[in-house]
């Protein structure tokens, strides 16, 4: 009989169906699912817009589960680690997958390093993380625990180039995911370790295309005939492969030249790695009288004068004149969403108009 373990207490699925006194969010959802609840309300994270609620049926959630379970070859009696907030679709779908497949469920708090307290005698077959959790684990003594998880999926935000490099030595299956609440989590996976391909593989049951802006469109067979139009710029490689370029609503128009921040961030990541700078950062376009928008590098944590000077020099030698940040601004701490993503709009508000131009 499969089980769920949380806070050191273990319950069989029969006990979860009947009801237990310790009624956490995960246990309440499992109870509702096992008792046949039909309609569910999913909460978006609000990282790319205002948070909103989306309705989904039991059959739609089950269909999404079957796609992932088949692709990753999930089986009954395997164990799934649920270390994401189950109030949001990514964590909730981990519960649905485990319940439908008949997997054991190990629920831990959605903390930065959820593997540090894992019992060594429990083998994890499937887990989902967000990038900041992967970053914390890679910097910890528990790296080998991550490598021991058979299938790892990472979503919620793009992976930095440095994390991708760090994961290359892992021997398990590590995937970046592409998806959204509207599609009931991921529609495509990108293998991270052991390969150099940077394309996403579209999962069975989804049809993708692009609109006139070059943004991805998605049609899911289990969600009806509606075509979901995204704000993600992509390059279609084939009918079931695409390369993600960035968000169209984040494109910077600097002096009439359009710049994709994510493209610049990939280069900046290699520079930070070369200069041994561990800081998180992102590229944004801030108002500028001459250019309209100025490419700006926003860094979490302080840099010394020497680090800043070396960074400015290296950036100018590596990036084109249009992509090179016109300013660097350091914030003590970024603003994050409840699901652990950088809240770029709110973080940019902290910058204001006080940043120092450096080029």
- Per residue in 43-55, pLDDT (tens digit) is 765 555 556 788 8
Tokens 């950062």 label which residue? 281
Let me know if residue 214 belongs to a domain: no
Strand, coil or helix: what is 33? helix
Instruction: Give the span between the Cα atoms of 19 and 30, in whole angstroms.
Output: 9
Measure the CA–CA gap between 208 and 219, rounded to whole angstroms: 6
Tell whether 55 and 82 lie within a shared domain: yes
> Any idea what the CATH number is for the domain that residue 119 is in?
3.40.50.12780
Cβ–Cβ < 8 Å for 296, 355? yes
Same domain, 113 and 191: yes
pTM of the model: 0.85
Is there a contact between 328 and 358 (Cβ–Cβ < 8 Å)?
yes
If asked whether residues 61 and 145 sit together in one domain, one would say: yes
Judge if 19 and 95 occupy the same domain: yes
Residue 112 lies in a domain: yes
Residue that finishes a domain, picked among 195, 216, 245? 245
Give a yes or no: residue 54 inside a domain. Answer: yes
Domain end marker among 245, 270, 298 = 245
Residue 133 lies in a domain: yes
Q: What is the pLDDT of residue 164?
A: 87
Point out the residues of the chain with pLDDT beneath 50.
Answer: 354
- 261: in domain: yes
- Total domain count, the chain: 2
**224 in any annotated domain:** no
Residue-level pLDDT at 158: 83
Is residue 271 located within the same domain as residue 332?
yes
pLDDT for 195 equals 77
Residue-number span of the structural domain to which 287 is assigned:
251-357
- Which of 192, 220, 245 corresponds to the end of one domain? 245
* Mean pLDDT, rounded, of the chain: 90
**Closest C-alpha among 292, 293, 268 to residue 280:** 268
Say what the pLDDT of residue 51 is: 63
Query: Do both 48 and 163 map to the same domain?
Result: yes
Give yes or no: residues 278 and 241 share one domain.
no
């Amino acid at each position: 009989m499969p089980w769920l373990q949380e806070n050191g207490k273990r319950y069989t699925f029969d006990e979860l169906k009947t009801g237990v006194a310790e009624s956490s969010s995960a246990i309440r959802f499992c109870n509702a699912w096992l008792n046949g609840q039909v309609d569910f309300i999913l909460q978006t994270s609000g990282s790319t817009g205002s948070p909103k609620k989306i309705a989904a049926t039991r059959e739609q959630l089950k269909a999404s589960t079957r796609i992932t379970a088949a692709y990753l070859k999930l089986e009954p009696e395997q164990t799934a680690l649920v270390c994401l907030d189950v109030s949001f679709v990514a964590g909730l779908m981990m519960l649905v997958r485990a319940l439908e497949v008949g997997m054991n469920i190990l629920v831990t708090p959605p903390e930065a390093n959820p593997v540090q307290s894992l019992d060594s005698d429990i083998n994890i077959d499937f887990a989902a993380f967000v990038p900041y959790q992967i970053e914390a684990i890679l910097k910890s003594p528990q790296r080998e625990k991550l490598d021991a998880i058979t299938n790892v999926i990472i979503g919620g935000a793009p992976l930095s180039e440095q994390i991708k490099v760090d994961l290359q030595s892992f021997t398990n299956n590590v995937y970046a995911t592409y998806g959204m609440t509207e599609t009931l989590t991921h529609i495509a996976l990108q293998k991270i370790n052991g390969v150099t391909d940077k394309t996403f593989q579209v999962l069975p049951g989804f049809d993708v295309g692009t609109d006139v802006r070059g943004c991805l469109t998605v049609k899911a067979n289990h969600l009806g005939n509606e075509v979901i139009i995204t704000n993600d710029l992509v390059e279609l490689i084939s009918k079931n492969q695409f390369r993600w370029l960035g968000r169209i609503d984040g494109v910077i128009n600097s002096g009439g030249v359009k710049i994709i921040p994510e493209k610049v961030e990939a280069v900046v990541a290699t520079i930070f790695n070369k200069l041994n700078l561990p800081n998180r950062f992102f590229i944004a376009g801030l108002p500028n009288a001459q250019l309209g928008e100025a490419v700006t590098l926003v860094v979490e944590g302080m840099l010394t004068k020497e680090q800043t000077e070396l960074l400015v020099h290296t950036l100018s030698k590596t990036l084109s004149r249009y992509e090179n940040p016109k300013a660097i601004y350091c914030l003590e701490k970024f603003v994050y969403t409840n699901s652990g993503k950088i809240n770029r709009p709110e973080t940019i508000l902290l910058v204001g108009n006080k940043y120092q131009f450096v080029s």
